[in-house]
Structure 1
Amino acid sequence: MRAVWLAARAAVRRRRVQTLVIWLVTLVSTGSLVVALGLVDAASAPFDHAFAKLNGPHVVAEFDRGKVSDGRLARAARQPGVEAVAGPFPQATVDIPRDTGNFGLGGEITVVGRADPKGAVDRVDLWAGRWPVRPGEVVLNRQSDWTADDLGKRFRMPSGPTLRIVGFAFDLSHTADAWVTPGQIGALHPTASQLLLRFRDASSQSALRAGLATVTDGLPRGSVNGSQTYLALKHRIGGSARAYAPYLMAFGILGILVAVLIVAHVVGGAVVSGFRHIGILKALGFTPGQVLGVYLAMVSVPAVLGCALGTLGGDLLAGPFLRFVFTGPASGVLHDSLGIAPWVNLLALLGMPLVCVLAALGPSVRARRLPAARAISAGSAPRAGRALGVQRRLAGTRLPRSVSLGVGLPFARPARSAVTLAAVVLGVATVTFAAGLAATLNGFGSGGHPYDVTVYVGDIRHGKEVRPVHSDPELQSLLRSLPGASRITARSDDEVLLAGGTQPVMLEGRRGDVTLDSVLTAGRWARRRGEVVAATPFLRRNGLEVGERLRLRKDGREERVTVVGATMDTNDRLVISAWPTVTALIPRAAPIAYHVTLRAGASPGAYARAVRAADPGLAPQPNGPNNVTGTIVGSATALTLMLALVASLGVFNTAVLNTHDRRRDLGMLKSIGMTPRQVTVMTVTSMAVLGVAGSLLGVPLGIVTHRLVVPRMAGGLDISLPPSMTEVWHAPLLALVAPAGVLIAVLGALVPARRAARLTVAEVLHSE
């Protein structure tokens, strides 16, 4: 074994190019695979861990206290399928003014009277202070916005008591915005009762619905205000991870395929170019098994090193990446559970080297079977045949002789050329997929909005809010009169409550051209009072469809509305309505922003500057990509460049092997007058042929990958993309990616071509 290791170590040092290629391709492939699998695992694992730790409720149900008593609810919950129950807890809805004195809470909030943060269901994470034990005390549901120094401050309830903050807690299921003692809740006039349920069968939405139906069977009609399940919450929290995972998996799979091809190609080339080395090893007494071991060790050393560094790099990148993906109200609790699972690292550390060894097994077995005498006597030049015949036929064309000779070279080693072509095809497919992904995300990043500039009412300067000097009607006239403006719509934002839910709904009102909004994916736009358009994630989270009815509440008012359309917006709390619906719930609603569409050719930047000059209390913001799309496009670009570089290294290795095999031919061509420039053209042309074929095959493969991956990314966010964002393959984009194969091939062949051009006839004859 020591002799095998010494021979393998010497081969690794001697074949620096092949070693570098294997190391780099395994590094890139392993790193992307670790991040991708870690993200797939993280799409559910952190939530499951945190939810189990807190013994969260499978169903949070709200009941009308005027129709069913707490005692009857407690008896109804005693069903065989119910594993545990907490409550019923009295629940009140309180409207908090939006000002800086209420710890970030504003609008309609839910307050629950609860005696203990623990219990059989839903253990609330009390991270600062203590639980209220007497009237006049309150605990706020805040994750990390405030510190323990805020304990003891006063929290004023409008038309109610002023409470002292004795603690801060976080509830993953968000069953309340604040908690008080059961004795205190009466002063807030509770209108609902909250029941927290865990079921023995919680595997699906249908099972949860069936379990809740068993509990509510026999209760008065209309006593159930609404309910929410933990599966909907889990789906919402893991949405970003599910959106990122498909494209990372695509890059991981492409990386593995490239790794297999390149490793097999490198080892195969090492066997062919090292015939004499193999013969010498056997002549020195190496058995066929030891020769096999030398070549497998030659691959394993850089492969294991690349996999180890790739796993380490993937772990380092995955930490901040997962924290970026899992942002939002539950991020703090989930971050404690985030990280790459041990099975992912184990799979990468063991699986990728095994893939490389299996890829190298075929060429290594060939080296094992090669007789010593044949190996020592083997010439360096390939047999005349396919390449020479093609070159002779091309000689009769008008192509320059260096070009015709170069076109025929790939046919000398068809197996080697086929593997190189496959690597180029995958490189081109990666470039094509990344270009299509960027085109889709650039459209999505701007929200699909047909407007160009959003003008916000009010601006913050030097820590102070500056209000506009114009009134609402004057602002619309002003914005419409500025150069470049075409259409304008006013937008209001207010939080309301959905009957049966504990989290507020963002009701956005539209006045003017209501179509100046996110892309409509189903139904139509709201035109009159009682009609709303909802974001697709909102509909899926609440189990709703276009055509169903909702009840929205605000300040004691209630409006029954019908969902008449769905938008592409990713906000799972968003509901959009025409202005009459907003004023029915909020009579004093006022626009907080104006969406402006510009005429063709108008500059959003110039319009924004004109807005600032016209009224210093306005804050214009041109429409553009967001951070999420920027992150995906940036990471996809980086992975694409690395895989394209790896494919170029495969071409580089092929060009090196070809020039090594044909040193005698190069010497003969130079002796009859071929110039160094012609040698360079011939070598580059031989690889450019593979580049052209790679583009012809790789571009369609990249388009297919784009069409498979992008809908799954959209599905992770619970949205549907319109055809304008998926059918991006128009002539300009195709023209941009078409030369990718040639560029990869030329980039990989250029250095070996220059080296071949510098060879002298004397050097070639001396080596012979």
Structure 2
Amino acid sequence: TSQDPEGRAAVTVTTFQPNAVAPPPPPPGTGGGAGPSPVSGGTSGTSTPERADPAKVRAAVESQPGLASYYGKLRAEVVVAGAPGSVQADLYEGDARDGGYELLSGHWITGKGQVVVPTRFLERTGTEVGDTVRVSYGKEHAGLKIVGESFDTSGDRLRIHADMADFPSAEPSTFLVEVRSGVSADDFARRLASVVRPLGGDATTVPPAEREGVILVMSAMAVLLTLMLVAVAGLGVLNSVVLDTRERVHDLGVCKAIGMTPRQTVSLVLASVAVIGGLGGLTGVPAGYVLHRLVMPVMTRAVGTAVPPSVLDVYGPARLLLLGLGGVVLAVLGALVPAGRAAGTRTATALRTE
């Protein structure tokens, strides 16, 4: 979610209708009326309506019951002194803390004269947090202080985040809306859409399935990989215990002959494996923890950024303890079948086995 702040918004309001197509003009002589066409550019039947007035869309948003908060956003091309080519800028209007990216250092923009940039921007321009950069939007120029370094893996292109107030001619193309608790986002969007569509705008919600689609795919892949590793480890334990019980079947027969019950036989086999599982957990969990802290920075550095604490510090003491105990559980589960077979072996058969 840190990579898609817009996806966190309950309702997205735009000042345009991406799928709207203006109707073709009436044929000459059909009484279509004179005057300028309400559409701009394009050919007959394929041009889109003019962009809605952001001020009217903003007023419509503010007038809706159930509104909790909102902020405006414009994605534009700017020129930054010291940066090669054009730079993609996300300009924000209002309190945009809900749309903030995860930060590696510094803080999110809180007003005019501030800019937040990703790690790759700092590296390519030779700047650091606290420096001032000159940004040009059209004919407007502003000196902005770098107040934060964002965690951004969206691509190789340079991107900055700044306040829209630094460029008076800029107007939001999107409003990201949060609704009050208990208010349906779908109902809110339908009511708002009925107001802004006649103006040339639109209001939509992001379906939860689509909003969380990438996260669900990544989680499913992680679960699948974990299950595969568990299955491989379980089969390894099973194979080892089967071989071990076959080698010790005569010893188990002697124990049965002097009075060992089937339950005690199962406990004996499982106890020997549990010790190995515990040692594996004590060895594997610290090794995995160290490997995680070594590999993650290398992976993020490959895409031009560093690792925020929220991504790196994910294993607390309680979670590490559970992972360590998982080694014991895995060993016991893998040994249940051969332990049961050993307990069910007849004493006479076990004593005859060499």
Task: Determine if the TM-score, normalized by the shorter chain, exceeds 0.5.
Answer: yes
What are the residue-to-residue correspondences of 1:566-577 with 2, within 5 Å?
Answer: 566-571=149-154, 572-577=157-162
Matched-pair contact (CA < 8 Å) for 2:2–2:102: no
Does 1 or 2 have the higher relative contact order (CA < 8 Å, sep 6+)? 2
Q: How far apart in 2 are the matches of 1:582 and 1:674? A: 85
List aligned pairs for 1:446-461, cutoff 5 A.
446-447=2-3, 452-453=8-9, 455-458=11-14
Matched, 1:490 2:72: yes
Structure 1 residues 458 and 716: alpha-carbon distance in aligned structure 2, compared to 1, 3 A threshold:
same
Percent identical among aligned pairs is 33
Instruction: Give the CA deviation at 1:713.
Output: 2.3
Partner of 2:192: 615
Cα deviation, 1:178-203, whole Å, max 9, x if unaligned, reads xxxxxxxxxxxxxxxxxxxxxxxxxx
Please give the alpha-carbon distance, in whole angstroms, between the structure 1 residues aligned to 2:3 and 2:350: 63
How far apart are residue 709 of structure 1 and its match? 1.9
RMSD: 3.7
Which amino acid in 2 is paired with 1:590?
P
Using the TM superposition, give the Cα deviation of residue 728 of structure 1 relative to its aligned residue in structure 2, in angstroms: 2.2
**What is the total number of aligned residue pairs between the two structures?**
311
Q: Contact (CA 8 Å) 1:536, 1:570: kept in 2 or not?
A: no
CA spacing shift, 1:500–1:689, aligned 2, 3 Å: closer
User: Is the 8 Å Cα contact of residues 611 and 620 (structure 1) preserved in structure 2?
Assistant: no
Q: TM-score, normalised by structure 2?
A: 0.72
SS at match of 2:336: helix
Which residue identity is paired with 2:79? L
The residue identity in structure 1 corresponding to 2:74 is S
CA deviation after TM superposition for structure 1 residue 639, in Å: 3.8
In the other structure, the counterpart of 1:723 is 309
> Could you say if the C-alpha distance between residues 641 and 507 of structure 1 is closer, same or farther in structure 2, counting changes exceeding 3 Å?
same
CA distance in 1, matches of 2:331, 2:52: 59
Contact 2:79 2:137 in 1 (8 A): yes
> Which one of the candidate residues 167, 170, 180 is aligned to 1:582?
167
For residues 539 and 633 of structure 1, do their structure 2 counterparts lie closer, same or farther at Cα, with a shift above 3 Å needed? farther
Match of 2:96 in 1: 514
**Residue equivalent to 1:752:** 338
Offset at 1:555? 3.4
1:634 and 1:763 map into 2 onto residues whose CA distance is 47
Question: Is the alpha carbon distance of 1:625 and 1:447 closer, same or farther for their aligned partners in structure 2, counting shifts above 3 Å?
Answer: farther
1:684 correspondence with 2:267: no
Bigger fraction of residues in helix: 1
> CA distance change for structure 1 residues 685 and 545 in 2, over 3 Å: closer, same or farther?
same
Pairwise CA distance, 1:704: 1.9
CA contact (8 A) 1:468 1:618 kept: no
CA distance in 1, matches of 2:177, 2:192: 16
Equivalent residue, structure 2, for 1:471: 57
CA distance in 1: counterparts of 2:271 and 2:177, whole angstroms = 54
Q: Which residue is 1:307 aligned to? A: none
Distance 2:177 2:308 in 1: 21
Q: Could you tell me the TM-score, scaled by structure 1's length?
A: 0.36
Greater Rg by CA: 1
Q: 1:646 to 1:525 in 2, by over 3 A?
A: closer
Using a 3 Å threshold, how does the CA distance of structure 1 residues 607 and 542 change in structure 2: closer, same or farther?
farther
* Aligned counterparts of 1:735 and 1:615: Cα–Cα separation in 2: 50
Give the Å deviation of 1:500. 6.5
* Matching residue within 128, 136, 147 for 1:564: 147
Counterpart of 1:521 in 2: which secondary structure?
A: strand
Unaligned runs of 5+ in 1: 1-444
CA–CA distance in structure 1, aligned partners of residues 139 and 340 of structure 2 = 81
Match of residue 55 from structure 1: none
Distance 1:462 1:491 in 2: 17
2:250 maps to: 664
**Offset at residue 510 of structure 1 (A):** 1.8
Aligned pairs for 1:308-707 within 5 A: 445-447=1-3, 452-453=8-9, 455-458=11-14, 463-464=19-20, 471-478=57-64, 481-482=66-67, 485=68, 487-499=69-81, 503-516=85-98, 517-571=100-154, 572-583=157-168, 587-594=169-176, 596=178, 602=181, 607-616=184-193, 617-621=202-206, 627=214, 633-707=219-293
